[in-house]
Amino acid sequence: MKFQFSTPLEAAKTKLFNWQLRVPAEVTSAFLASPTKRRVVCVLNGEDPHQCALTPIGDGVYVIKVNQKRIKKLDLAEGKKVNLELFPDDSKYGLPMPEEMAAVLAEDPEGDKLFHALTPGKLRTLLYIVGQGQDSDDKIWRAVQILEHLKARSGKIDYKALHYEDLRQ
């Protein structure tokens, strides 16, 4: 299943994100009926494939959120048509598993068990945090800090504590 369509970049009417691309109803319906549901791989203007989700904004309308970094990278502007290609994201986590995180999980069975007991959304959040590391050493450091955080809190995440106490900026 693969869909291609064009839609203009529009400002979002929410405080959660700034830019969005509307997904046609027939495309949304096809994905919602599939096993992957809302998780998709999105290719914008033939480049920059990335994993994301169809995000509901009300009245049965779904969008793809677009961050400022992608807007600059692809030279997009409000009202400018964007060519989208969407296909199901059938990956295990919905984001790439950083090599460093995989290595740390392999070395820490207790941390691995706690990590994999989390919901898919929490797994993606933690993988995103690790993936944002500046280099391999920073990614390893982040992965270790996350697993130590989970072990210290019996598998629960306190995002505020994780941000302020554990992860360096």
Note down pLDDT in tens along the chain; length 169 residues: 899 999 999 998 887 789 999 999 999 999 988 766 888 999 999 998 999 999 999 999 999 999 998 999 999 999 999 999 999 988 888 888 999 999 999 999 999 999 999 998 899 999 999 998 899 999 999 999 999 999 999 999 988 888 776 555 4
CB within 8 Å of 26: residues ≥ 6 apart: none
- CA 14 to CA 57: how far, in whole Å? 9
| Contact yes or no for 89/41 (Cβ under 8 A) | yes
**Where do you find CATH 2.40.30.100 in the chain?**
3-88
State the pairing for strand pair 55-58/61-66. Answer: antiparallel
DSSP letters spanning 105-117: HHH-HHHHHHHHT
The CATH superfamily holding the domain 3-88 is AF2212/PG0164-like (2.40.30.100)
Is pTM beyond 0.85? Reply is no
CB within 8 Å of 117: residues ≥ 6 apart: 155
